[in-house]
Amino acid sequence: MAVLSRIPKTLTRTTTSSIKPLSSYISRSFSSTTLNSETDLKVPSFLSRNSPPLRQEPKDRNVQWVFLGCPGVGKGTYASRLSSRLGIPHIATGDLVREELNSSGTLSSQLKEIVNQGKLVSDEIIISLLSKRLEAGEAKGESGFILDGFPRTIRQAEILEGVTDVDLVVNLKLREEALLAKCLGRRICSHCGGNYNIACIDIKGENGKPGIYMAPLPAPPQCVPNLIQRADDTEEVVKERLRIYNETSRPVEEFYRNRRKLLEFELPGGIPEAWPKLLEALNLDHKDKHIAAA
């Protein structure tokens, strides 16, 4: 299930860590890259070289976690649940990209082409979007985070490591055949934005591997006529995303494994089966049992 059966309680609240300016790591990492006007990085004002040092974190700051896993594995689902439970922001780079896609910003058309081809968004664009989100959070006094979809490359991991301490990296894993079916079954209500899944995944156990069952997540009647499929949720694009992930993101798992920060969690099924076990692995009490069946 989980390589680390339970994390220490001390990881649910951590002590003050030293935060270095992001600007120095961005400038150094991208110094050899020529960026055009559409992808130039705008370093947030609170991270600029000339601005005062970042505020000191309280001794009991909130956790700083990262969620890794193949596209479609459920990072957003579990990260958002933990965000609500712990009262800390869930920052999903996928959401940041989709917000930019729906905007009239200069990156919108460039991002549409990248996403529809199943390619990973470049480090430059991701860092730019994340920087804007961190600036907004800093202005609101946010403490702690759960990052979802970042870092995806060693380069990004090194930049993040230079900015602040990551307490724990949760690597969600799911068998590829289940993952493919799950991605192809995803549906979105074009009216309310709700996320649903029409796939009923029932894979029998064999060769020592346990079976896995994931029930559909049906839409309410009022949403059924408005269900749409994401343009990039085709078998060809999903397989391409998995191939790229294996090439570029697997080394990130090793990066954090070597730093003894990686918790590998094999999803045993859908939310009702996986949620309580994930809470157990994270050393969080499973008090609200109704959440697992929501």
List, as one string, the DSSP characters of 2-61.
BSSSS--GGGGSB-------HHHHHHHHTTT----TTT-----GGGSTTSPPPPPPPTTB
| Residue among 75, 81, 187, 261 flagged as catalytic | 75
Residues in the chain with pLDDT values less than 50:
4-6, 8-59, 288-294
Residue 51 lies in a domain: no
pLDDT of res. 93: 85
Tell me the C-alpha distance between 155 and 2, whole Å: 27
Number of separate domains in the chain: 1
Could you tell me the two tokens for 290? 């109704």
Residue 19 lies in a domain: no
| Residue among 81, 186, 261, 277 flagged as catalytic | 186
Residue 210 lies in a domain: yes
Question: Which residue range is the domain that position 237 belongs to?
Answer: 63-89+142-292
Give the predicted TM-score (pTM) of the model.
0.71
Tell me the C-alpha distance between 173 and 42, whole Å: 34
Tell me the C-alpha distance between 97 and 121, whole Å: 9
Q: Which residues contact 166 (CB under 8 A, 6 or more apart)?
A: 64, 65, 66, 160, 256, 261
pLDDT in tens, 26-54: 444 444 333 333 333 333 333 333 333 33
Interstrand relation of 262-266 and 168-173 (parallel, antiparallel or unpaired)? parallel
pLDDT of res. 287: 55
Active site residue 186: yes
Residue 228 lies in a domain: yes
pLDDT of res. 47: 34
Residue 163 lies in a domain: yes
Residue 118 lies in a domain: no
pLDDT of res. 106: 74
Tell me the C-alpha distance between 79 and 48, whole Å: 29
Residue 243 lies in a domain: yes
pLDDT of res. 249: 81
pLDDT of res. 199: 94
Interstrand relation of 64-68 and 201-203 (parallel, antiparallel or unpaired)? unpaired
| Residue among 61, 133, 152, 182 flagged as catalytic | 152
Active site residue 75: yes
pLDDT of res. 82: 95
pLDDT of res. 286: 57
pLDDT of res. 146: 95
Tell me the residue type at 165: D
| Residue among 85, 119, 155, 230 flagged as catalytic | 230
| Peptide bond connecting 225 to the previous residue in cis, omega within 30 degrees of 0 | no
Task: Return the bridge partners of 147, or none.
Answer: 66, 91
Residue 69 lies in a domain: yes
pLDDT in tens, 235-289: 999 999 889 888 888 899 999 999 999 999 999 999 999 999 999 999 987 554 3
CATH assignment at residue 269:
3.40.50.300
Tell me the residue type at 205: G
Active site residue 250: no
| Residue among 182, 187, 241, 261 flagged as catalytic | 241
